[in-house]
Amino acid sequence: MFIRSKRVFIDGKLKPACISIHSGHIGEIHSYTYMASEALDAGNWMILPGAIDVHTHMREPEAVQKEDFYSGSAAALAGGVTTYFDMPCYQAPPTTTVGALSEKERLAAAKSVADYGFHLGATNENGDLIRRLQPPSVKAFLSDTHSILSLTPSGFERHCSGLDKAKPLVVHCEDRVMAEKRAAQYKTHEQIRSPEVALSSVKFAAALGKKYKRRMHFCHLTTAAEIKAAKAGSGFIPVLDKKKKGAPLHTVEVTPHHLFLSDADLERLKGWGMVNPPLRERKEVAKLWKSLKQVDMIASDHAPHLPADKEAGAAGFPGVQTMVPLMLHAVLGGKLKLEEAVRLFSRGPAEAFTLQRKGRIAPGYDADFIIFNPQENWNVNLNDLHSKAGWSPYEGWKLRGKIIGVFLRGEQAVWDGEMQVRAGFGKPVQRLPMIGTERLDLRKHAKERYSLQ
């Protein structure tokens, strides 16, 4: 198969090219006129690498009325996200055992239309399990956002030393003790979980990361001060591209809602603006935009809740389908360069999470593409969104440019918003490094030995 365009994103620039695809991978990149009669011609539409979202909450198996692996992955694909990672913060059961993780793998294999991965959850009790398993990544909470997964300082340090230093320890940073003290002084969510609460926790985690010289990935940072603290003195590790000096030991992500929304939007959202960490003041949002060169990736923190849940105060926004469109809207509006946007939603996460065939349009990489028409605008309409959430903080926004199609491993997966592939088309991008009878034996005994229930 061949696909061509006058604007293919290759090595940081838009170039005319014809791409050959073999068995789901990019074969060679030829001149635009190569095999012209046989190639799918995208004309002046941009061909960009598929996006990678390392921070989603697909809700299955606990709350499938809010989202499941089919609806969530369909939302991802329609928004140009060809690979997503699911977070472990569930309570029935939490993804803190091999058994719980294996069940998620089974469900995603049957339902997901996009490629997927999972973060295993860290608890105060499962340090020995994680030390033995050495999963690809582990999620740690330093706040009471999810009580089952909330770590003590000593519990967090055990995971800092126990997980392979080259694997990312993914951390949610909010200082629990400071937040509790502020709750006695302040009333609003935004005042209680203030920037100071986040910064204190970032400094604590960064210090441990530096002490153990380990990979640390900081979720949803909301201020320039947090980014600076997370990056301070972290050093570098080798990356997939040998031409580069290395990737930072400490990587950081920011979310679209912390870039495109502020506490000034709370009145418009009419009580549905609750999110952790909270929306910040406009002056902090402006500083966050200026800090994007120090940011490794954009991540949606897709956390769908139904309208009734939001009315009851549930924290979180749906966002996996609107993440890439918002970033490309910013590009067309002159707020961000295209190469920076692609780095943030594609190459950056691929390098940080060592996805060796994702994140670039180059020979040998997966043929994951976004077909983007910068000339066509669209309105964020609930009827076009695949998530079960049934609402969006961006409803009614007019965005510049439109995703026309998405290819995953060489297959036309989405065209004009419609799914072209069936449930189960998605594939895992990484798995636990234990296989065969030992893995099965661990799955059999994991719940009784390590479950928190």
Q: Which residue carries 């695809």 as its tokens? A: 21
pLDDT recorded at residue 433:
63
Pair 79, 29 in one domain: no
Question: Is 125 inside any structural domain?
Answer: yes
pLDDT recorded at residue 436:
37
Q: What is the dihedral of CA 147, 150, 155, 156, to 10 degrees?
A: 170
Pair 313, 188 in one domain: yes
Pair 71, 99 in one domain: yes
Structural domain harbouring 225: 49-358+377-400
pLDDT recorded at residue 431:
75
Question: Is 429 inside any structural domain?
Answer: no
Question: Is 256 inside any structural domain?
Answer: yes
Pair 140, 287 in one domain: yes
Pair 30, 87 in one domain: no
pLDDT recorded at residue 449:
36
d(CA 247, CA 239): 6
Q: Residue 378, class by beta-carbon neighbours within 10 Å (0-12 exposed, 13-18 middle, 19+ buried)?
A: middle
Question: Is 284 inside any structural domain?
Answer: yes
Pair 19, 99 in one domain: no
199 membership: H or E segment, kind and range: helix 195-212
Pair 32, 53 in one domain: no
Question: Is 444 inside any structural domain?
Answer: no
pLDDT recorded at residue 37:
86
Pick out the chain residues at pLDDT < 70. Answer: 145-148, 233-247, 433-453
Pair 350, 226 in one domain: yes
Question: Is 365 inside any structural domain?
Answer: no
Question: Is 419 inside any structural domain?
Answer: no
Q: Where residue 388 sits, what CATH number does that domain have?
A: 3.20.20.140
Active site residue 115: no
d(CA 177, CA 444): 37
In Å, how far are 109, 336, 408 from 420, measured between CA atoms?
17, 31, 11
Pair 202, 342 in one domain: yes
| Domains contained in the chain, number | 2
Pair 106, 238 in one domain: yes
Q: Which one is catalytic: 301, 366, 368, 384?
A: 301
Pair 105, 6 in one domain: no
Tens digit of pLDDT for each residue in 340-364? Answer: 999 999 999 999 999 989 999 999 9
In Å, how far are 153, 166, 367 from 124, measured between CA atoms?
9, 21, 41
Mean pLDDT, all residues of the chain: 91
Pair 21, 137 in one domain: no
Question: Is 232 inside any structural domain?
Answer: yes
pLDDT recorded at residue 435:
37
Cross-strand bridge partners of residue 402: 373
